[in-house]
Amino acid sequence: MPSHLNVPTKYWELTKEVPAPPCVRGDIASWIIANPADPLWDIDVLPLTYTDSRWSAFVVRCDEPTRRRLVPNPPLDLWDGDNADLVEYWYVEHINTMLGPYLEFGVTVSATYKDPKGNVWKGGYYPYMYLTSDAAVDAGRVLGFPKKMSYIRITTHGGEKGTDFFGFAMTRNGYLLHSATGKFDDKQVTPPHFYGKTDWGKFNMKVVTRPDLSSSEWQLTYIASELPEAMQGMIKGHRFKIKPEHTRTASGDAINWFAQGTPFDNMGVEVKIQEITGCISFVFDLVIPPPSVLWTETYERPASYRGYATPYKYGLRQQFPISQGS
């Protein structure tokens, strides 16, 4: 006789740590993403906090033509003030978050937005982000973050302090996107302009496409440094809190570096680097509240729209090693 076993455990009936699924909760205003039977992430992600994450940011110098391609205009403009050419090229180890642990990579460029009333919004804009977790990618994408999944490695080890040497690497679909190794020499590194500025927030560009592909709405989102009023009763102050006692730095001379574009990821082609000025690594706590939407624009497609592919003909971008998933 065959063995057929079903273990129909409903964890939300065993512990309040697990929220009942949306279809059981009933109150439709509490449903954030599909599917109501079992969403990829749910209300126990909120408020979205992070504790003791480690940020390791390579600071690279990029000229204006490079940065201009990275920042969508309209509606954004490049920041043209102090250290405008310093771009952050960063990895993060997230240990404790409401989305669970994950590794992350991103690029941040200083940018501004002038609204129709003349108000100027300043922020770091993210052209690229990669993560190792599906739920963290999706939760970010709902807010407009440009997240993809990739394989990421972060190692700090050895030396007098036990964390003197570092290795970072990122691959996707079998291609190496970036690798950096080196040693923290704790020399002075000039950060991008937005470091430590409480009047600077973060920009993202979300795109929402209709199910019939007839149009896409672009939405510029903005997360201010200060927490919104609705959250002030719960958490005080600013979103990002550095623990300065853990900060390490490496000068450009202490960093080995390789980056390339791939058929699937153009970051290594678009981010043209004049100089790798150094690396700044620190530990921090974080809160990510919902952003505000500053600008929208809809782009319509004709009914005859057929994309770029030829049916049933598979080329370079459709061929890579099959994955069993994560």
**Span 108-137, contacts to other proteins by CB under 8 A:** 126-129, 131-135, 137
Amino acid at site 38: D
Coil, helix or strand for 93? strand
Q: Which stretch binds other proteins (CB under 8 A): 11-19, 80-88, 116-124, 191-199?
A: 11-19
CA-nearest of 227, 209, 204, 224 to 295 is: 204
Closer residue to other proteins (CB): 82 or 213: 213
Q: Which stretch binds other proteins (CB under 8 A): 82-90, 112-120, 193-201, 310-318?
A: 310-318
Q: Is 249 in contact with 281 (CB distance < 8 Å)?
A: yes
Alpha-carbon torsion, ordered 208, 324, 128, 93, to 10 deg: 120
Determine phi and psi for 9, rounding to 5 degrees: -70, 130
Residue 35: CB minimum distance to other proteins, A: 3
246 near other proteins (CB under 8 A): no
Residue 122: CB minimum distance to other proteins, A: 19
Residue 81: CB minimum distance to other proteins, A: 23
How far is the C-alpha of 166 from the C-alpha of 155, rounded, in Å?
5
State the number of CA atoms in the 13 A half-sphere of 197 facing the CB.
15
Q: Which stretch binds other proteins (CB under 8 A): 77-85, 92-100, 115-123, 193-201?
A: 92-100
160 near other proteins (CB under 8 A): no
Residue 300: CB minimum distance to other proteins, A: 7
How far is the C-alpha of 100 from the C-alpha of 93, rounded, in Å?
11
Determine phi and psi for 303, rounding to 5 degrees: -60, -25
Among 35, 155, 198, 232, binds other proteins (CB under 8 A): 35
Instruction: Copy the structure tokens of residue 122.
Output: 């300043």
Closer residue to other proteins (CB): 163 or 173: 173
Residue 116: CB minimum distance to other proteins, A: 18
CA-nearest of 22, 19, 24, 44 to 35 is: 22
Q: Which stretch binds other proteins (CB under 8 A): 12-20, 82-90, 116-124, 187-195?
A: 12-20
Among 65, 118, 162, 326, binds other proteins (CB under 8 A): 326
Rounded (5°) CA angle 185-187-192: 120
Site for other proteins in 262-301 (CB under 8 A): 263, 265-270, 272-273, 276, 285, 287, 290-293, 299-301
Site for other proteins in 52-91 (CB under 8 A): 69-70, 72
Q: Which stretch binds other proteins (CB under 8 A): 2-10, 84-92, 115-123, 186-194?
A: 2-10
Largest CA distance in the chain: 76
Site for other proteins in 186-245 (CB under 8 A): 204-214, 216, 218-219, 221, 230, 234-235
Residue 77: CB minimum distance to other proteins, A: 16
Instruction: Identify any residues that bridge with 42 across adjacent strands, giving them in sequence order.
Output: none
How far is the C-alpha of 1 from the C-alpha of 7, rounded, in Å?
19
